Structure 1
Amino acid sequence: MSRVGKMPIALPQGVEVSIKNDQISVKGALGTLVRPVNALVTVTNEGGKLAFAPANDSVEADAMSGTMRALVANMVNGVSKGFEKKLTLVGVGFRAQASGQKLNLQIGFSHPVAKDMPAGIKVECPTQTEILIKGSDRQVVGQIAAEVRAIRPPEPYKGKGIRYADEKVSLKETKKK
């Protein structure tokens, strides 16, 4: 059996889980997340702990039990603590401004770029060169951060652009005569 799938998920206080009709829904302080349960995995709630087991002895069911356990663990963490991604802007005159559900970027183009945030995602700009993307769904937070970064990824010669806060950009040396 999958090593990850063997470990049960302990539910923190204030988190409710309901399993019905091949769907699992996790409700907490930061919202509700719903995910379909794969037919190859059986999920049981035993006294505040979620257990995942493969439905049969196939390799696919074994692998999927670990995958489902990881996805549901992310859901539990998301509705209790939340997830966040931090982006930084590197470049002269590069600015970010959050207004409601919209992120306005001035990143060296001839026009400002506006990015709308989906429901459940909050965007903040503590400084003009920092962007914080917060939400309860880990997949959506990571996808939105990747889409914002893709607007102006760091270029390899000066490193200007939008990058993750912990990202290291290796700079190339310019061409010599």
Structure 2
Amino acid sequence: MSRIGKLPINIPENVDINYNESEITVKGKFGTLSTKIPNIIDIAQENNKLKISLKEETKKVRSLHGLYRTLINNMVIGVSEQFDLTLVLKGVGYRAAVQGNEIVLSLGYSHPVKIEIPKQISVEVTQNTNITLKSCDKELLGLFASRIRAWRQPEPYKGKGILYKGEQIIRKAGKSGKK
């Protein structure tokens, strides 16, 4: 049995969970999330705790135990508290702005980069260089942040690019001139 899979999931008061053989739906004040679950995983709710157990003990099933427990836990946390991620633009002239349902980035290209914002994600830009993303879906949030970041990966020589908040870039020395 998985160490992570054995842990019970605490359910806050404002979260409602519905499940059947093949799907689980979690509702909270920040939205509704649902995911399909394999029929080899069994879910039981006791008081304000959710327990994930297995119907059979094979290597493949044990590997899915911890995964689905973590996915369901992330859904519960997302609909009750929301996940947030902050991106920082480092570089001369790098700016961001939200216009309608898209984010417009000035990243040193000859044209502004426009990326459409998914409906489940809210975007806030502060000081033109800090982008705060919030969503109840952790997977979608990470994918959208990586899509934004892919336009300017941080580079090791000057440290320019789109960084996650708190990320440290290991700098390289660059070339030395002839002496």
TM-score (norm 1): 0.96
CA offsets per residue over residues 16-37 of structure 1, 9 Å max, x none?
A: 0000241000000000000001
Report the counterpart of residue 76 of structure 1 in structure 2: 76
Change (3 A) 1:100 1:13: farther
State whether residues 40 and 64 of structure 1, in contact with CA within 8 Å, keep that contact through their aligned partners in structure 2: no
Partner of residue 6, structure 2: 6
Which of structure 1's runs of 4+ aligned residues deviate more than 6 A?
none
- Which residue in the other structure is 2:119 paired with? 119
Contact 1:102 1:115 in 2 (8 A): yes
Residue 138 of structure 1 is matched in structure 2 by 138
**1:8-67 deviation line (CA, Å, top 9, x unaligned):** 111101100000241000000000000001222111112221110111011221221111
Identical counterparts, % of pairs: 40
Q: Is the 8 A contact 1:17 1:26 kept in 2?
A: yes
Matched, 1:67 2:100: no
Stretches of structure 2 that go unaligned for 5 or more consecutive residues are: none
**Local SS of the residue matching 2:127:** coil
| Equivalent position of 1:40 in the other structure | 40
Q: For 1:31 and 1:50, how far apart are their aligned partners in 2?
A: 19
CA distance in 2, matches of 1:81, 1:100: 25
TM-score in terms of structure 2 length = 0.95
Q: Report what 2:19 is aligned to.
A: 19
Residues matched between the structures, number: 177
Q: Is the 8 A contact 1:54 1:64 kept in 2?
A: no
In structure 1, stretches of 5+ residues that fail to align are none
SS of 1:159's partner is: coil
**Equivalent position amino acid for 2:126 in 1:** P
